[in-house]
Each structure stands twice: as structure tokens, then as C-alpha cells.
């Protein structure tokens, strides 16, 4: 059972659209993460937030803009994406320590036309 | 930098067969090691973890031992079931600047168990 929810589960957008992905965790965790999972590539960490502060940006293009208004919610704002950005975007959360387990949401399957 | 290498799949085997998925890593310091599983259409779930050398993680019949001398964390299960069909990811963690952790994943190994 997961305490991390993501909406929408599927999203199709054009290259000129603006959309947002939402992640919510009900686990009382302090750290939240965005990952990108593409076919035939390892899972890539995109952003890390800890106590609402961004602590990691893994050289992600500016067309991806994260927002963390509180420790329970994480957004990924998308604009002017490219077809190669099509992927499964996974959100995760953890208490905050370096050995803590990360709990993942089901992901948003994004297709950019 | 950190890296994780795991065997490429797919691995196809029959029910009740023995499963081994190899995982080796490169890291500075003393990372924690994890195995995550991803069932079709779902996100990743923690399967087991080990936080220091010689620790053995175990769950649902799966086991893996943290071997510092060989930098390995191989996953094993003695008798697989059809329900074990999934993609398995080996990962290691290192501390992010302030707190939280940064997981580095292997490429994943797809396992298909046939009845």
C-alpha cells in the first residue's frame, strides 16, 4: 500500500502546452523527490526537496519547474516540452535521513506530441 | 561518482526455480543499499535494504547481503512464483547536502516467471 498519490495518471500534451503534475504524500515525511523513468534508461533523479527547500537539482532543463508549497505536496510544472520528455514521472517521499526508505507514487505517464 | 550495475534482462524462468539478480556498485563512503520492485503499471516499492557491510536484508522470501569486499548486493529467491514477475531495481543512497537521500539506480532487470 502506498501513501503517495500522483495525478493525473496519464497526460498527453502538445509542445506548446502548459501542464502540472501533482504529488501528495500522507506519510508525514519531510523529503520529496521527482524522478524520470524513460524506456531503456536508468531511473533519473530530477529534484529533491527537504522541509520545502530544494536541495538538489540534477541539471534538469528549465522547462521543468518544481514547486513544494508544503511538506505534503509537490508539483512539477511543465511548459514547452519536447517529445523526448515523454516518460513516466515518479514522485517519492522519505522521512529525511540518508538511510531512509523512499516511498514511491504510481507515476504519471506523460506523452508529448 | 556513484553508480550501480545490474544484470540486463529479461530473465525468464519457471515457477519454483531459483532466482539470482546480480548487482554491483561503485560509491564513496558507506552507502545504504536497496532493492526495489516495480509491478506492471505501478510505482516502485521497497523490497529490502541493508545499511552496513555484512547486513542481510530479507522480505517475501527474497534476500540480499551487503558485501563490501566485492561491492555487491545480489538478490536471491529460492523458489519464485508467477506473482514475482516484475522489474527489479538495485539502488544505493548517498546523503544530499542538507538531508534526505539521493538514490542512484541500476538499469532494472525484468523478471518473467512462467507457470
Instruction: Write out pLDDT tens, residues B18-61.
Output: 999 999 999 887 888 999 999 988 889 999 999 899 999 999 99
Buried b (16+ CB within 10 A) or exposed e, B21-31: bebbbebeeeb
Which of A4, A43, A99 lies closest to B51 in CB terms? A99
Residue A3, pLDDT above cutoff 50? yes
The length of chain B in residues reads 115
Task: State the pLDDT confidence band at A99, using cuts at 50, 70 and 90.
Answer: low
Shortest distance, CA A103 to any CA of chain B (angstroms): 7
Q: Which residues of A fall within a CB distance of 8 Å from B28?
A: none
- Cβ of B100 and A41 within 8 Å? no
- Interface contact B32, partner A, CB < 8 A: yes
- Comparing CA positions, the residue from A49, A43, A88 lying closest to residue A67 is A49
User: Residue A24 belongs to what H/E stretch?
Assistant: strand A18-25
Torsion on CA atoms A60, A31, B90, A106, rounded to nearest 10:
-80
List of residues 6+ apart from A61 with CB closer than 8 A = none
Amino acid at each position: 500500500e502506498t501513501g503517495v498519490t500522483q495525478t493525473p495518471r496519464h497526460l498527453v500534451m502538445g509542445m506548446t502546452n502548459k501542464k502540472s503534475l501533482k504529488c501528495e504524500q500522507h506519510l508525514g515525511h519531510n523529503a520529496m523527490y521527482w524522478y524520470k523513468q524513460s524506456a531503456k534508461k536508468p531511473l533519473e533523479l530530477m529534484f529533491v526537496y527537504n522541509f520545502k527547500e530544494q536541495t538538489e537539482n540534477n541539471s534538469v532543463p528549465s522547462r521543468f519547474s518544481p514547486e513544494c508549497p508544503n511538506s505534503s505536496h509537490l508539483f512539477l510544472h511543465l511548459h514547452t516540452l519536447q517529445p523526448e520528455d515523454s516518460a513516466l514521472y515518479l514522485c517519492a517521499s522519505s522521512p529525511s535521513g540518508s538511510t531512509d526508505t523512499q516511498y514511491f507514487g504510481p507515476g504519471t505517464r506523460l506523452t508529448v506530441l | 561518482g556513484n553508480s550501480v550495475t545490474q544484470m540486463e534482462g529479461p530473465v525468464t524462468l519457471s515457477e519454483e526455480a531459483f532466482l539470482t539478480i546480480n548487482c554491483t556498485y561503485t560509491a564513496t563512503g558507506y552507502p545504504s543499499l536497496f532493492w526495489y520492485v516495480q509491478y506492471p503499471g505501478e510505482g516502485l516499492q521497497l523490497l529490502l535494504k541493508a545499511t552496513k557491510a555484512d547486513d542481510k536484508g530479507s522480505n517475501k522470501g527474497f534476500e540480499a547481503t551487503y558485501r563490501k569486499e566485492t561491492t555487491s548486493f545480489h538478490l536471491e529467491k529460492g523458489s519464485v512464483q508467477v506473482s514475482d514477475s516484475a522489474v527489479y531495481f538495485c539502488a544505493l543512497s548517498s546523503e544530499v547536502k542538507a538531508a534526505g537521500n539521493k538514490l542512484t539506480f541500476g538499469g532494472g532487470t525484468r523478471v518473467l516467471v512462467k507457470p
